[in-house]
Structure 1
Amino acid sequence: MKQVDVVIVGGAAVGSSAAYFLASQADFKGSVLVLEKDFSFEKCATTLSAASIRHQFSTPGNIEMSQFGTQFIQHIGEHLSVAGEAPDVGFHEEGYLFLASDAGRAILESNHRVQRNLNVDVTLLSPARLRERYPWMNTNDLSAGSLGLSGEGWLDAYSLMHGFRRKAISLGVQYRQAQVLSVKRQGRRIQSVSLSDGSTVNCSVLINAAGTGARTLAQSAGITLPVESRKRCVFHFTSSAQTPRCPMVIDPSGAYFRPEGKGYLCGISPAQEQDPECFDFEVQHTLFDEVLWPLLAARVPGFEAVRVKNAWAGHYDMNTLDHNLILGAHPEVDNFLFANGFSGHGLQQSPAVGRALSELVTYGDYRTLNLSAFGWQRILENRPLLEINVV
């Protein structure tokens, strides 16, 4: 039996970010142990994501978290260098382009006002300006587009995660490959976690950053966490189409595509009735053939001829109430902190959430971004904090 000040369950981007910020926090003097079930990280959401960051949300807190994420990535050498070597996350700052038909224009404009109030570098484009900027795009059915001019783009998700992890280890954080089976709770406190190898670790604070395994961990402490695993497929295709200045394009249909190497990445969420909780990693190839390809070809005529080169499936830890993060301690358990239900936003929000968790552990409240709106109270009151821009 071992005593650790802070145990973090989950060592991908969010858990390793929390570990880094705790270890680099001058006012935190404790020990940190990260428990990760698979050090290959092959199946974690971080590794299998589309690895993008955007400021174009409808919820102010989501905007502010991603703004900090961009700042962190742009100055990553100041934060995550080890022995003079900074991680290369390959940040392509090419922007997001949200497209809207007549039916979606009012929502696009409403989101734009929220974003501009928070100094997001974004502009609205008319169909004429869209045609001028992107002559390769079919704009006949469009009413407007919202383009991020700076701060948005895509990056190497694994390199960011590994950068957090490497820096945390250099600062004294311990990592252990282990599966957490259960937690021991007494009254308002978590006392320990039990591992699959039969060992037990006592802790003063427990952080749940377990992704799609978060609900099981919460249940073992008697807490109901409204998070489900939802499969999302990503397809990599090549095309002879020429698409200069191509950003991450979000079609009114919900389909997205962006450049990746000599080809493109794309995806779309399944229809709600075809999107049950799911834990397998089987690629839904019919999703590309029957849904995505027709949408891509309609938006970019040059995509009528494409070749799928690769495809994979990962999982969102979906907050079924409102598709937003659940952050902080449950009102009934003082020392059990949650960072779950990212619904696809985990990578881009990992720097801000890691910092927030370190503040909650060290000071008991937020010192930089006030993220209390993402706390448990709205969950218990069934009061959704709705995010309109879900991709």
Structure 2
Amino acid sequence: MKQLAILGGKPAFSSQLKFIKPMFPTYSESKYESYFNEVFKTGMLSKGRFLEKYESEVSSYLGAPYVTAVSSRTIGLILALEALGIKSGDEVLVPSFTFCATVHAIKKVGAIPVFVDCNSETFTIETNNIEKYITPKTKAIIAVHIFGVGAEVYELERVSKTHNLKLIYDAAHAFGSTIDKTHLGNFGDISVYSTSPTKTLVTGEGGIVVSKNKEIDSKIRLLREYGNPGDYNCTEIGVNARLSELAAITGLMSLSIIDKNLSERKKIGNYYRQLLSEIEGVSLQKIPDNQISTYKDLCIVVHARSFGLDRDTVVQSLNREGIPTRNYFSPPIHKMDCYSEYNDLVLENTENISKNIICLPMHPFLTYADIEMIVNILRNIHINAEEIKKRVIQDA
């Protein structure tokens, strides 16, 4: 058994593994080189044919009628809220176990976030008691598809229709995820994907707003363009949320191999899960049987009592081996400094997961040998828990 680096041994990986690495076709061997050359030659850096092509191809891939590309998922969420008429003083139900942008968007339109706990197994918004949070001021729900696992869309659809609420999905992690073979972007009033470098579809920075309603899509497009319908006589107060032509071409490149990307991620994710399931004190996010996940992230929850060490000590031990990690999402939003008015709120599942979660390296270029090494290191950390505790205390 290899001596762990935290106990004086050599790191398992002499140069640190990459936590993420986007997949692209080879630039010089692809038609996309000519696309980039055309943009530079014509000087048409924005509002050109490649943005239209990108939106059309994404629409076709998702089977979604209306797709509008924007400069970020955050601005996409803001435009979604505005297009649906959510305004100052309106309440929006939202999980706290999510990236900060989900809730920042609510605050940016002047609405009031009402935090709902997450499901202890899937980490998505808990629906069992969600109706107790609804008041006369509640106008919308923002549910989040976490790490590629979809929220309970059928129950959320029922609740939103029963109470006449707008339903938005933050699908940042979920380009390629499906429920009952339907892409997640096809649920709710609006879904917003992210295409930043950590995601499955990548434009550099950017987002995609998906809707089923032509009027809503037209509103999104108007708001994306300052609220200017084309004659400079603005009919809405919008912003510049356009995606550039260069970003759109990058997106086309990424989309061209999305199925290969997703297939590789699924193989890697399933292999991780197979090996990790054998380690005492570690649990995994549940993926419902009717879902296919993007495996945007591969996360474990460390149970300190049975594993033998707390999350932070495990992270320290992994990092010493050249294995980078992320604690998504710690702290949860209701415990962040900028949301201090919510700091006393107790969300039991959210806080337990947030305090104990570790996201491991996850990208299509990991090898089975890499995964075996990562899991073996994690197993050795568990086996040597008592000795690691002593070493950490000595080094403190």
| TM-score grouping bracket, smaller chain normalisation | under 0.3
Query: TM-score, normalized by length of structure 2?
Result: 0.23
When normalised by structure 1's length, the TM-score is: 0.24
Q: Which has the larger radius of gyration?
A: 2
Greater per-residue strand proportion: 1
Structure number with higher helix proportion: 2
